[in-house]
Structure 1
Amino acid sequence: MSLIKIKSAEDFTGIEKNNGLTVVHFMADWAPQCEQMNEVLSELSKQSELKDVTFTMIPAEDVSEVSLKYNISAVPTFVLLRGGQVVERVDGAHAADLTTKVKIQAAKSSLVSTAPAAPAEDLNTRLKKLINSGKCVLFMKGSPDAPRCGFSRTTVDLLAKHETEYTTFDILSDEEVRQGLKTYSNWPTYPQLYVDGELVGGLDILKEMDASGDLDTLLPKKQKLEDRLKALINRSPLMVFMKGDRTTPRCGFSRTLIGILGETLLPYDTFDILTDEEVRQGLKTFSNWPTYPQVYVKGELVGGLDIIKELQSSGELMGTLKGE
């Protein structure tokens, strides 16, 4: 089997559900060790004893939500999964260690496949969890960025009009949920909107409520991005927006900045821009500063790593970071 490149969290979801053994290489194009380890994986994938193993690679920084889920702090890192559960892990470019662990787990796969399956979660219990997974949940075809039917697209536009804070579930991705929810809620069509765990209805109901003015008061509102950014910037007198956090910086610039700040012994807070694309893009425009990391003192932008280095060289860093 060839080495599969995963480009998004959606791609990874299908891989993650694989009941067989899956090897996931969290990598980065800029790291030469990753390219070398990809060659190791390619060779392993050709071995007949590993023909049932799925070998994948995923850009750690580009698909940050998956990296966060598996606590990836450096590349290359390898996670071995079976049925979505981590069975082994290798941190670093250790080809021999990885090869040994892959072969051991592959040998166990035949034993696992003959074991009795764990009982599936009761469908009604699962539906309750999905319905209550957020204050406002929309069951639709597709996603807000890519609706897969006209009714879903119109519903998404309607929720956007009211600046609604909501989560979604793509019923096309799970036939059991798609059919089960119709019976559970006694509502035969999609999309379906739930607020506080209670069914509001489909598009026709939402349109009626919109016309009467009742919909706006029912829906939870998004915090405006500008207000949210201001609150984040002022969360601490010394605030750093970076890739990763102080214990696990996830790019060279962030790592260098944390090293400099550590020498000052000043208290500071961080925000991982890889966890929130809205903040990541919005802050660039808000502060007119296109790159990360970004350092703020008392709500004012100081700058990025280059500025911090210049201040360090001139002896002005401590005073600037203290807001003097």
Structure 2
Amino acid sequence: MSSLTEIKTPQDFSSHTDSLPPTTLLVISFQTPWAAPCAQQTLILRTLASSYPLQTPPVISFLSIDAEALPDISESFDVTAVPYLVLQRDGKVLETVSGSDAAKVREAVEKHAGKGGNTGKLGLPPALETTPRKEEEATDGRNGEAQTNGASASNLSKYAPGANDPATAPEMSSSAGQTEELNKRLAELVKAAPVMLFMKGTPSTPQCGFSRTLVGLLREKGVRYGFFNILADEDVRQGLKVWADWPTFPQLWMGGELVGGLDIVKEELESDPDFFSEYSVGQGKGGMAAPEAQVQPTAA
């Protein structure tokens, strides 16, 4: 059976693709190891790959690429968000799929490669939900009354402690106070400059292809901006994902409001070329914001 091959270097990618005949369907998955939808995508592709027999020459080849570790390859396929699937044959892109919807991924692969074996037995995972779940009712095992999302919806006056209940309330954790302090800091950071870029690395040395591309767009439009290297501050890196409800980086903020990542910024510029006009200092004259807006991470 076929398998999902991990590509670790540009040389690995070149040698692998050069070894394939032009008739082979290349299924390339761009992902990052820290994102849950990417883990879902990997599981989907491993399942699909195992349903296709290993042949010589190969009819289909499944590849996995860390989009941030290999930014040149990502940019060559115009990858702006992950997970992202590219189906290619003889050097020509046939189709792309954004997201980890198992049905869409399977449909795209089978459209160009034909059906494999019985993936139903292997269990393709369902698509991840991207919208909040509706409140679900559970039943309190002790008194049979309804609970919603873990909170009792019963009349508490009827409640009596059971024999196994703790004698006293659990000690309050200090994490709530820490979270409040971090959120206050994040609220200040996103307003540290009229345009704030939270990125991996710095504008002079970006540490991922998405950050480098977004920096290039800002410079091209002559936008003055502040930046924050999220790799140097884990609290901000993890906290901003939750506080902003946006799980990936880079993140661009304007006037204290989240614009989004590279893909959103590109969409905004396509629909409105003057999107950054309010913050531009002239075409080709882009630079950083005033030094006080170039926020530095706190010491670890």
- Shorter-chain TM-score range: 0.3 to 0.5
TM-score by length of 2: 0.43
- Looking at both structures, which has the greater relative contact order when contacts are Cα pairs under 8 Å and sequence separation is at least 6? 2
Higher helix fraction: Structure 1 or Structure 2? 1
Q: Could you state the TM-score of these two structures normalised by the residue count of structure 1? A: 0.40
